[in-house]
Amino acid sequence: MNLLRRIQSALPGLRKSEAKVAAYVLRDPAGVLPLRIADLARLAGVSEPTVIRFCRALKLEGFQAFKLQLAQFLGSNGNYVQFSVSEGDSVADVNRKVFDSTIGSLLSVRDEVDPLALERAISAL
C-alpha cells in the first residue's frame, strides 16, 4: 500500500494531534519533503514529539524514514496524488486534478495487485 493510502487508512486510529500532521501531509505531500521536523510541527500546529508519534503510528522509525518513504513514493508515482476539486478551480485545474487522481488511483491498484493471484486467475480462464 502506498504511503498516502497508509496515512488515510491510519487516520481513524490516530490521536487528534497526529491527525493534524496527517492532514497537513495529505494536503501537500511534496511540500513536506524540504521541511525539518520543527517546520512540519509548526505548520501542523503540533509538537515535534507528535510528529515522531505520527511516523511511528505508520510503522516507521522516525521522521527521516517517513520523508524517505514519501520521497520514494512521490518519485515513483510521478506526483499523481489525489486532490479535491474546489469551487474556485479553473477548468485547467479541474482537468489536471481529475486526471492526476485517476492516474494515482490506477497506480495504487497496480501496486496492490497480487501477481500470484493474477496468474492463477489468468490460468483459470
Domain containing 99: what range? 80-125
- CATH code for the domain in which residue 60 is found: 1.10.10.10
In angstroms, rounded to a whole number, what is the distance separating the alpha carbons of residues 88 and 70?
A: 29
Whether 16 and 44 have beta carbons less than 8 Å apart is answered as no
Q: Are residues 101 and 122 in the same domain?
A: yes
Q: Which pLDDT does position 14 carry in this prediction? A: 96
The total number of structural domains in the chain stands at 2
User: For the whole model, what pTM was predicted?
Assistant: 0.63
Contacts of 1 (CB under 8 A, 6+ apart): 9, 108, 111, 112
- Give the distance from CA 117 to its chain's centroid: 26
With left for phi above 0 and alpha for psi between -120 and 50, is residue 79 left, alpha or beta?
A: left
Q: Do 40 and 99 reside in the same domain of the chain? A: no
- pLDDT at 94 (0 to 100): 81
Tens of each residue's pLDDT in the chain, 125 residues: 688 889 999 999 999 999 999 999 998 888 899 999 999 999 999 999 999 999 999 999 999 999 999 988 887 655 555 556 677 878 887 887 778 777 777 777 777 778 898 899 899 99
> Do 40 and 100 fall into the same domain?
no
Same-domain check for residues 63 and 93: no
Per-residue confidence (pLDDT) for residue 2, from 0 to 100: 80
